[in-house]
Amino acid sequence: MSKRIFLAIPVSRNDGLIRHYKTIRNLLQGEKIKWVKPEKLHLTLHFFGDTGEEDMSRLHRLLSTRLEDLTGFDLTFCGAGVFPGLHKPRVFWIGVTPSEALNALVQVVEEVLIKGDFDVPDKPFSPHLTIGRIRRLDDRQHFVRILGEYREKEITRLTVQELHLYESILKPGGPEYHVLYRYELK
């Protein structure tokens, strides 16, 4: 039986990040935004989609072997923005400052994808933390002002100590995430 899976850095235990997330959410409480629940916040490294048991086992073995020598590193969450753009915003995100350590981790993940014969992304990795999906903006000026206040703001730092391979189960009330495997970094 296949499972819908993705590899991510868990971030929901970072108090500074959660504090800023809640501040932004409160400032925009009148808007029609479906906010990601704080306990579900994560930085996706790769979305695999529906994956069979055999492929999942192969992926787990490759990740375990390849990640065991990597050391933890710091991430800086900085800025906020929207996809695809301000004209018709759909996804509200907090940015991640690029770093050599994060780039190295992404490179290792891509090596695993190639070695395991998994689909490799056709777009370059764009680190961001999705915090909400915009349904409708009733006060666009207010939204743009709040976004401007956070556009360049350093939000918090996080020490990355582990990665999770999650299963995502789609439900009417939103997705449920279950950790299938944890990969601790040195």
pLDDT per residue, tens digit, the chain (186 aa), is 899 999 999 998 899 999 999 999 999 999 999 999 999 999 999 999 999 999 999 999 999 999 999 999 999 999 999 999 999 999 999 999 999 999 999 999 999 999 999 999 999 999 999 999 999 999 999 999 999 999 999 999 999 999 999 999 999 988 999 999 999 999
Note the pLDDT of residue 109: 97
Question: What's the CATH number where 92 sits?
Answer: 3.90.1140.10
Q: How far apart are CA 88 and CA 83, in angstroms?
A: 8
Are 86 and 141 contacting, i.e. CB atoms less than 8 angstroms apart?
no
What are the catalytic residues?
42, 128
pLDDT of residue 175: 92
Domain count, the chain: 1
Q: State residue 174's pLDDT score.
A: 87
The DSSP symbol for 118 reads P
CB distance 161 to 185 below 8 Å = yes
Which residue segment(s) compose the domain that 30 sits in? 3-184
The reported pLDDT for the residue numbered 173 is 86
Q: What is the pTM (predicted TM-score) of this model?
A: 0.94
SS3 171: coil
